[in-house]
C-alpha cells in the first residue's frame, strides 16, 4: 500500500511505514509475556489499591459546561501528584467516570473533546511530566524520563506511571462515588493504559489512540523520533535492559484485558512505529479497530478523521458502559474530598 506522504509529512528522512502495509500490520503479533508477568502486575496493583488518594480539590470555576478543580492526590511511593477533576454542572448526576491519559509532553490543562457531558472526569498527569508534576518522582523527558529505573523491573518508570492511572481512578471514585470507569489514552497514555487496564476491574472499556510501548522485539530495531529512540540507544549499550522491558510491553499486557477496547492505529508514524501500535491492538480479544492514515502529524483530511474518531469513541464508551450493567452511586458535585 503506497501513500503520497512525501508531499506533506514532516519527517521524510525515513519511511515511517517501516515497509508494512495494512495486511502486514494486522499480522503483527504481540510479544509473549515472560514468566511472572501477570503476577508482577497483579502484585503492583494490589499494592496500589492499598493507597488512599486523599484528594484535595481547589475550585477553578466552570469550563465547557463543567465544574473544574485542581486536584492534589497521593500515589505509590508517598508522592503527591497534581491533576484536574471535572463534573457536570446544573445538578446533573454523572453516569460514568472517565480517566483521560496524555501524551509524552504531559498536560497543562483539561481537554474535553472525547468526554461525554454527563461524565465525571479525571485528568491525571504522570509522575515527572509537565506541567504540574515536572520532576516529581522521575526526571523530565529531556533528562531521561523513559529510562528512569530501567535497570530494574521493580523500579522502571513505566510501571509507576501505570500505577499512577490506578491512583487517578481511586481519586475519581473518592471524589465522585462509585461509577463504571472508562479510559481514554493517546500515545504515551495509550501504551500506559494498555499496561494498566488488565489488572483494574473498575474499568469497563477504553479507547487507545496510537498506543506506544508495544512489541519491543520490533520497536528496538526501528528508528523513530519519539522516546523509543532513546530506549533503542540505551538497550544497544546495555542489552540486559531488554529483559526488564519484557515486563513493560503493552502488546503483552493487552492479552490479559477482558474489556472492550477501541484502538486507533496509524499506517504511518515516525514517533510510534505502526507495527508496535498494531501489536498492541492485535492483543485485545474484544477489539474495535480504527485505521488512521498517520499518527503524530497533520495530514490532508486530518480534521474529518479526528471528528469521526471522537464520535466513534463516545459511541464505544456508551456501549461499554451499558454492557457493564454497573449502576452509578455518584454525586453531582464532589462530596467525599477536601475542597479548599
CATH number assigned to the domain comprising residue 140? 3.40.50.1820
For residue range 146-171, what is the model confidence (pLDDT) as tens digits? 999 999 999 999 999 999 999 999 99
278 within some domain: yes
CA angle, 127 then 244 then 294, to 5°: 65
Number of folded domains that form the chain: 1
Domain that residue 172 falls in: 13-332
Give the number of C-alpha atoms closer than 13 A to the C-alpha of residue 87, restricted to the C-beta side.
23
The pLDDT score that the predictor gives to residue 338 is 74
315 within some domain: yes
Q: Residue 228 and residue 17: Cα distance in Å, rounded?
A: 16
181-186 and 96-100 as β-strands: parallel, antiparallel, unpaired?
A: parallel
1 within some domain: no
The pLDDT score that the predictor gives to residue 62 is 96
The pLDDT score that the predictor gives to residue 13 is 74
Residue carrying the nine cell digits 480479544? 285
264 within some domain: yes
Query: Is residue 249's pLDDT more than 80?
Result: yes
132 within some domain: yes
Q: pTM score > 0.75 for this model?
A: yes
Cα of 171 vs its chain's centroid, Å = 17
8 within some domain: no
Q: Residue 84 and residue 210: Cα distance in Å, rounded?
A: 23
Alpha-carbon Rg for the chain in angstroms: 19
For residue range 74-84, what is the model confidence (pLDDT) as tens digits? 999 999 999 99
The pLDDT score that the predictor gives to residue 14 is 86
340 within some domain: no
3 within some domain: no
Amino acid at each position: 500500500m503506497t501513500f503520497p506522504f512525501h508531499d506533506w509529512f514532516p519527517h521524510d528522512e525515513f519511511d515511517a511505514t517501516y515497509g508494512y502495509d495494512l495486511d502486514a500490520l494486522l499480522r503483527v503479533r504481540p510479544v509473549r509475556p515472560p514468566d511472572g508477568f501477570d503476577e508482577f502486575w497483579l502484585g503492583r496493583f494490589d499494592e496500589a489499591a492499598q493507597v488512599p488518594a486523599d484528594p484535595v480539590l481547589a475550585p477553578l470555576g466552570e469550563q465547557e459546561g463543567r465544574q473544574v478543580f485542581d486536584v492534589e492526590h497521593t500515589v505509590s511511593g508517598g508522592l503527591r501528584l497534581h491533576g484536574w477533576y471535572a463534573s457536570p454542572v446544573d445538578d446533573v448526576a454523572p453516569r460514568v467516570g472517565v480517566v483521560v491519559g496524555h501524551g509524552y509532553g504531559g498536560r497543562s490543562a483539561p481537554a474535553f473533546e472525547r468526554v461525554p457531558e454527563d461524565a465525571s472526569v479525571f485528568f491525571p498527569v504522570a509522575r515527572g511530566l509537565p506541567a504540574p508534576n515536572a520532576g516529581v518522582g522521575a526526571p523530565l523527558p529531556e533528562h531521561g524520563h523513559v529510562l528512569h529505573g530501567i535497570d530494574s523491573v521493580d523500579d522502571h518508570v513505566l510501571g509507576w506511571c501505570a500505577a499512577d492511572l490506578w491512583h487517578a481512578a481511586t481519586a475519581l471514585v473518592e471524589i465522585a462515588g462509585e461509577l463504571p470507569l472508562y479510559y481514554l489514552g493517546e500515545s504515551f497514555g495509550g501504551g500506559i493504559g494498555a499496561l494498566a487496564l488488565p489488572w483494574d476491574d473498575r474499568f469497563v472499556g477504553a479507547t487507545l489512540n496510537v498506543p506506544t510501548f508495544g512489541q519491543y522485539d520490533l520497536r528496538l530495531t526501528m528508528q523513530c523520533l519519539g522516546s523509543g529512540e532513546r530506549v533503542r540507544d540505551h538497550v544497544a549499550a546495555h542489552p540486559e535492559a531488554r529483559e526488564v522491558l519484557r515486563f513493560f510491553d503493552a502488546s503483552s499486557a493487552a492479552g490479559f484485558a477482558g474489556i472492550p477496547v477501541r484502538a486507533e492505529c496509524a499506517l504511518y508514524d515516525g514517533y510510534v512505529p505502526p507495527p508496535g501500535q498494531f501489536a498492541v491492538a492485535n492483543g485485545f480479544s474484544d477489539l474495535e479497530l480504527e485505521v488512521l492514515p498517520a499518527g503524530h502529524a497533520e495530514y490532508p483530511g486530518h480534521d474529518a478523521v479526528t471528528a469521526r474518531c471522537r464520535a466513534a469513541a463516545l459511541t464505544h464508551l456508551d456501549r461499554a458502559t451499558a454492557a457493564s450493567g454497573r449502576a452509578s452511586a455518584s454525586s453531582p458535585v464532589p462530596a467525599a474530598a477536601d475542597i479548599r
